[in-house]
């Protein structure tokens, strides 16, 4: 009988302990809950229950490693306390009503591989401190109200595969320095106020699959060197001030290659 009691005690103790996270992490989650009007979320938290039962929270080895609260009616701002979730690998609060600036404390999240803040009401410039998140693979900030230019510091994010900054109020030119993002697969800058030509340096992004630059104020032509982008299957550069009316192509690698070859031949013929 004593053995049975001990077995049950160990079982429930282990179960209980695996559901716990440090107080500082739980406090950070509660700060997020309070700062974004958790009482009105679509799917609410029962804060009397263990953290690993809370909607959108993933816990591993007693630490919060992922937050996915997208499309959950979060309203308010992101609290500075989020910077205490130092084991966090993924933060997704897209498609909500979060406003204000991105808190500087997120620079502490060195393990972060995915930062998705899309379809909210964030303002201010894109923070330079995002460049400190060297493990980032996905940065999705589209459909907000960010202003200013693309920080050159972001070009140090060598692991970045997805960069989505569309539908903001960004200005300036597309940085030549983007050639440093050698792992980039998807680049979307649609619906901003970018000017100037499309940098020929983008043709060095050999892994690029999607290039979406429509609805800006870009000029000139697509660089001839784009024909060497063998993985490119989606190309959107319409609604700019470019010299040619380029066809929008989605999911058709062969057609893009054919189109670029045709434009290139026309360009060469015009020069002759």
Comparing C-alpha atoms, which of 122, 117, 78, 121 is closest to residue 94? 117
Q: How confident is the model at residue 19 (pLDDT cuts 50, 70, 90)?
A: low
Per-residue pLDDT band for 58 (boundaries 50, 70, 90) equals very high
* Segment 210-246, tens digit of pLDDT: 999 999 999 999 998 998 899 999 999 999 999 888 8
Indicate if the pLDDT at residue 207 is higher than 50: yes
Segment 35-62 shows an average pLDDT of 98
195 contact partners, CB below 8 Å, separation of at least 6: 171, 172, 173, 216, 217, 218, 219
Question: Which residue spans within 217-271 are E strands per DSSP?
Answer: 217-220, 234-236, 241-242, 249-250
Instruction: Please work out, in degrees rounded to the nearest 5, the angle formed at the alpha carbon of residue 124 by the alpha carbons of 114 and 38.
Output: 60
Instruction: Name the one residue in this structure whose structure tokens are 């009482």.
Output: 39
The confidence band for 13, taking pLDDT boundaries of 50, 70 and 90, is very low
Q: Give the residue carrying structure tokens 């550069």.
A: 237
Q: Mean pLDDT for the chain? A: 91
The label of the residue with tokens 């209980």 reads 16
249 pLDDT band, cuts 50/70/90, is: confident
Domains in the chain, CATH or no CATH each? 22-170 (3.80.10.10)
Of the candidates 237, 198, 234, the residue with the CA atom closest to the CA atom of residue 214: 237
Given a cut of 90, is residue 250 above it in pLDDT? Answer: no
Q: What pLDDT, in 10s, does the model give residues 122-153?
A: 999 999 999 999 999 999 999 999 999 999 99
The DSSP code for 86 is T
Per-residue pLDDT tens over the stretch 72-91: 999 999 999 999 999 999 99
What residues contact residue 204 under an 8 Å CB cut-off, 6+ apart?
Answer: 179, 182
Using DSSP bridges, classify how beta strands 249-250 and 234-236 pair: parallel, antiparallel or unpaired.
Answer: antiparallel
Among 50, 45, 99, which residue's Cα sits nearest to residue 69? 45
């Amino acid at each position: 009988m004593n053995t049975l009691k001990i077995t049950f005690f160990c079982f429930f103790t282990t179960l209980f302990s695996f559901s716990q996270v440090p107080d500082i992490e739980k406090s950070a989650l509660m700060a997020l809950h309070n700062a974004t009007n958790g009482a009105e979320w679509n799917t609410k938290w029962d804060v009397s229950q263990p953290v690993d039962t809370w909607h959108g929270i993933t816990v591993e080895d007693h630490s919060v490693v992922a937050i996915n609260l997208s499309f959950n009616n979060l309203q308010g701002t992101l609290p500075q306390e989020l910077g205490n979730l130092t084991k966090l690998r993924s933060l997704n609060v897209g498609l909500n009503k979060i406003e204000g600036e991105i808190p500087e404390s997120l620079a502490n999240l060195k393990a972060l591989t995915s930062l998705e803040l899309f379809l909210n009401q964030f303002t201010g410039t894109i923070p330079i401190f995002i460049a400190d998140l060297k493990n980032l693979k996905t940065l999705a900030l589209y459909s907000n109200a960010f202003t200013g230019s693309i920080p050159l510091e972001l070009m140090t994010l060598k692991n970045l595969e997805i960069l989505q900054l569309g539908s903001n109020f960004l200005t300036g030119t597309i940085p030549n320095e983007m050639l440093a993002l050698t792992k980039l697969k998807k680049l979307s800058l649609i619906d901003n106020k970018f000017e100037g030509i499309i940098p020929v340096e983008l043709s060095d992004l050999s892994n690029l699959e999607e290039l979406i630059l429509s609805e800006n104020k870009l000029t000139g032509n697509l660089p001839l060197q784009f024909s060497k982008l063998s993985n490119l299957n989606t190309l959107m550069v319409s609604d700019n001030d470019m010299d040619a009316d380029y066809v929008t192509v989605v999911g058709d690698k062969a057609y893009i290659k054919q189109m670029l070859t045709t434009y290139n031949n026309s360009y060469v013929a015009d020069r002759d």
